[in-house]
Structure 1
Amino acid sequence: MLTFWYAPGTCALATHLALEYAGAPYEAKRLDFRKGEQRSPEYLRINPKGRVPALVTERGVLTETTALLQYVAQVFPQAGLAPLDDPFALAKMNAFNGYLASTVHVNHAHKLRGYRWVDEGDEAALAAMMKKVPQTMADSFTLIEEQMFQGPWVLGERLSTSDFYLYTLAGWLEGDGVDVQRFPRVADHMRRAEALPAVQKVVAQHKA
């Protein structure tokens, strides 16, 4: 049995969706960031980074969304969440997920977590970072829409971990001041993902 730690409104949703879709045996444990539970001694023993997601396996704890998505795809190959038999296609999937993690997520984080990158008390720098978020998020999704997205799923006809990751981060656009309808293919992708029973089940848990 796997133990999965998550918090609503975070990138942990992507791995949670993959676990549910794959039919993995797991127990989900929810953290309340508003109460600072991610900094509790109990959780820091699991993940010293104090962030989510974290997945406790029989061999130890795994963190970072890209790693967890790859793990789920490989441990539960029957779900077909990665083109494990095609090195090039697998690399394309990991490149897409890497872009979401290294660029899109960082763009989003500049809105509320700019303190990670500036000196304490530098309010002007924080304000500048927040002001830039709608532009950087829109620029990233323009690239996804026009160059990186094959359709109807990220890799074409087959569903993959990239679809759960894209769905998660696209859900942040409205809060970042960007209308997802500017990106018709991404908007259609969100509707397609929301029709999946696994997505409906997990999203309801995150909203509860």
Structure 2
Amino acid sequence: MTGPRPQLYWISGSPPAWRVMLALTLKGIAFENRQLDHGAGENRAPEYLKLNPKGQVPTLVIGDLVIRESIAILAWLDRAYTQRPIWSATKDDAAQVWQDVMEMEAVIRAPVTATAQALLRGTSHDPTNLASLADACDEYASRLAHQPFLGGDSAMASDIWLYPALHWIARGTALAGPKAPEICTSLTSSRPALADWMDRFRAVPGVADTYPPHWRT
């Protein structure tokens, strides 16, 4: 695709924004970095609210086109930049990737968010959320015992969705220390196939560079 370079507005540590950065990286798309300082309220500044009235991230701007919501951005990227598909190259495999992503949105998005926020804020955990998270990780680990990525031989949108989510949980677990539930502390360590997948994804060229900057210290 020729034309203006995409501009990505993002906040360090935001899993949805991280998904888009991963997609851009995997597809080899050069983009302009528009990192926002959440602490300084840059995502609530009038000029940004014109792009994203909810003050959320990510927002992708390409010329006059403004796209919000990470899944919509991932879908658009695969239509606009056909190299290195992230929704798979065949319609049947694409259906599986879409099914995985939509199930992640419907089934584990809420438990992931609630668990990560409870870890980071030091609040109580809902056992139902923890159980849902553990069940989902069991399913993913079972699949990853027989294939390198959820998307098959290479990382697809389903892998892109899950990778930041598990890192968010891991970040919260590290900060919570001994207060973290055992389910969180062993989420990947007790599931070798899932841990290997995390390492495999991290080793893909460029992926390690997308790790949230403020988590590095």
The TM-score by the shorter chain falls in which range?
0.7 to 0.9
Q: Percentage identity across aligned positions?
A: 25
Relative distance call for 1:196 and 1:162 in structure 2 (3 A) is: same
8 A Cα contact 1:66 1:94, kept in partner:
no
8 A Cα contact 2:151 2:157, kept in partner:
no
Higher helix share: 1
Q: Which residue of 2 aligns with 1:152?
A: 148
Is 1:88 the counterpart of 2:96? The answer is no
C-alpha RMSD of matched pairs (Å): 2.6
TM-score, normalization: structure 1? 0.80
Q: Point out where structure 1 has 5 or more consecutive residues left out of the alignment.
A: 115-126
Q: Distance in 2 between the 1:191 and 1:112 partners?
A: 21
Q: Distance in 1 between the 2:68 and 2:59 partners?
A: 5
Q: Point out where structure 2 has 5 or more consecutive residues left out of the alignment.
A: 174-179
Is 1:196 the counterpart of 2:217? The answer is no
Is 1:173 the counterpart of 2:177? The answer is no
Aligned-pair CA distance for 1:53? 1.1
Q: Say how many residue pairs are matched.
A: 195
Q: What SS class does the counterpart of residue 29 from structure 2 fall into?
A: coil
Q: What SS class does the counterpart of residue 168 from structure 2 fall into?
A: coil
8 A Cα contact 2:155 2:201, kept in partner:
no
Q: What SS class does the counterpart of residue 186 from structure 1 fall into?
A: helix
Q: Distance in 2 between the 1:100 and 1:31 partners?
A: 27
What pairs up with 1:1-208 in 2 under 5 angstroms?
1-11=5-15, 12-84=17-89, 86-111=90-115, 130-132=125-127, 133-146=129-142, 151-174=147-170, 175=172, 177=180, 178=184, 179=186, 180-203=188-211, 205=213, 207=215
Relative distance call for 1:73 and 1:185 in structure 2 (3 A) is: farther
Aligned-pair CA distance for 1:83? 1.9
What amino acid maps onto 1:136 in structure 2?
S
